[in-house]
Amino acid sequence: MDGPLRGTLEHALGARIGRATPVHGGDVATSYRVELDDERVVFAKTHASPPPGFFTTEAAGLRWLAEAGAVAVPAVVAVDDGDDGTPPHLVLEWIEEGHPTASTDPQLGVELARVHGAGAPSFGREDRRSTGSRGLPNDPCDTWAEFYATRRLAPLARLAADAGALPAGVIGAFGRLADGFDRVAPPVEPPARLHGDLWAGNRLVDATGRNWLIDPACFGGHREFDLAMMRLFGGFGPSCFERYAEVAPLVDGWEERVALHQIAPLVVHAIKFGGGYVAAASAAITRYASAARRG
């Protein structure tokens, strides 16, 4: 940890840093386990050149999830975007990781159902802040169909075209899907309180087997989106989804829409990493663009 960051954190935390040990995780920030001379241990991360509002947006998301009172979320200890020239940072309570127990996954299903059920004022974010590594817009919409089409699919189609990340024919299908998304959208539901980037790396399990959610990209959305993201990369057992469905049953046909909700994260990964994500994103876009045309 360099001197400027150390000094900034000591001032923000009101204590001297005894030890700062780098920790792995994430692909944009530099993170540390920080031991303070007042015996506190915290998690701190910084960013060499963050987008505007980078850390305060994440902190707001953590607090919003915590307000649901349904799942454990690390407390925000200090946050600053560095607008005054000081190193930007986010400091959270430290979570000592452990191993899942038999109740960890089913309990997450219950907790997530309750988080989603806490709701949101609209589809999107009232503060209109962008989220994610591509800075996707979150301006509020009245319906999920409008939000996903105009705040996810259309912007990602432009980004993919600019980056040459998808074949030209797929880009054309992508545009048609965005235009006709209302024909394949899930049945109308009130906006749910979404984590927004719920893959296994953003769920921690502590030494007691308790679930914690981290690194949110929160917005009000359709709850099928979080559940589809969880299925994209694995890491959540069947009992998690079974208990979720018991607490908050899904609308018929949700299985046919999983890949539809996965298009946004797949395209983001195709832009960033290429490889197999290009084929997976292309297949999903082509499938649902055809369905939207028929609808």
Token pair listed for 223: 């709850």
> What would the pLDDT profile of 148-192 be if each residue is shown by its tens digit?
999 999 999 999 999 999 999 999 999 999 999 999 999 999 999
> Do 59 and 113 fall within a single domain?
no
Asked if the structure places residue 99 within a domain, the reply is no
Query: Which residues neighbour 42 within 8 Å (Cβ) at sequence distance 6 or greater?
Result: 13, 34, 36, 77, 91, 92, 93, 94
The count of domains in the chain is 2
> What would the pLDDT profile of 239-257 be if each residue is shown by its tens digit?
999 999 999 999 999 999 9
**In the listed set 63, 93, 123, which residue is the last one of a domain according to the structure?**
93
Q: Residue 133: which CATH number?
A: 3.90.1200.10
Asked if the structure places residue 119 within a domain, the reply is yes
Q: Which of 80, 81, 197, 215 is catalytic?
A: 197
Pairing assessment for the beta strands 192-194 and 76-80 based on DSSP bridges: unpaired
> Do 196 and 278 fall within a single domain?
yes
Token pair listed for 4: 């400027």
> What would the pLDDT profile of 188-234 be if each residue is shown by its tens digit?
999 999 999 999 999 999 999 999 999 999 999 999 999 999 999 99
pLDDT of residue 28: 77
Round the CA-based radius of gyration of the chain to a whole number and report it.
Answer: 20
Distance of CA 247 to the CA centre of its chain: 22
> Do 17 and 162 fall within a single domain?
no
The full length of the chain comes to 295
Q: What are phi and psi of 293, to 5 degrees?
A: -70, -45
Asked if the structure places residue 241 within a domain, the reply is yes
Mean pLDDT calculated for residue range 249-266: 97
What is the residue whose two structure tokens read 């360099």? Answer: 2
Asked if the structure places residue 249 within a domain, the reply is yes
Q: Is residue 140 within 8 Å of 124, Cβ to Cβ?
A: yes
Asked if the structure places residue 98 within a domain, the reply is no
What is the residue whose two structure tokens read 């915590």? Answer: 66
Judge whether 197 counts as a catalytic residue: yes
> What would the pLDDT profile of 64-123 be if each residue is shown by its tens digit?
999 999 999 999 999 999 999 999 999 999 999 999 999 999 999 999 999 999 999 999
> Do 50 and 192 fall within a single domain?
no
Q: Which domain holds residue 223?
A: 104-294
Q: How far apart are CA 170 and CA 263, in angstroms?
A: 12
pTM for the full predicted model: 0.94
